[in-house]
């Protein structure tokens, strides 16, 4: 699962962030919107990694991906993992 990536992977582009800021939403709704867009980007990555269409992803595949990313983080450090936190 380890693949090269840019060290500053972002799940919300500047354009998407600006669109959320411009939307007529409350602060809470803007937070949830950003979270949802970011989740969509991550699900696209997981689907690509699994070699399936995003619509075909199963909860088990998502869980397995997070387990693997966590294992990579523990064994090789946070810079080797996809998620940086």
Q: What is the pLDDT of residues 40-57, one digit of tens each?
A: 999 999 999 999 999 999
Q: What pTM was computed for the model?
A: 0.77
> Residue 9's pLDDT is what?
59
Question: Using CA atoms, how far apart are residues 52 and 58, in angstroms rounded to an integer?
Answer: 10
> Residue 75's pLDDT is what?
92
C-alpha count within 13 angstroms, C-beta hemisphere, residue 34: 18
| Residue boundaries of the structural domains of the chain | 14-76
pLDDT tens digits, 3-28: 444 445 577 888 999 999 999 999 99
Average pLDDT over residues 27-46: 94
């Amino acid at each position: 699962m380890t693949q090269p990536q840019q060290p500053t992977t972002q799940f919300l582009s500047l354009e998407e962030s600006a669109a959320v800021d411009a939307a007529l939403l409350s602060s809470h709704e803007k937070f949830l919107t950003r979270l949802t867009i970011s989740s969509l980007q991550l699900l696209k990555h997981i689907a690509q990694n699994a070699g399936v269409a995003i619509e075909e992803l199963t909860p088990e595949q998502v869980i397995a991906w997070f387990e693997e990313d966590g294992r990579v983080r523990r064994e090789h450090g946070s810079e080797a993992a996809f998620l940086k936190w």
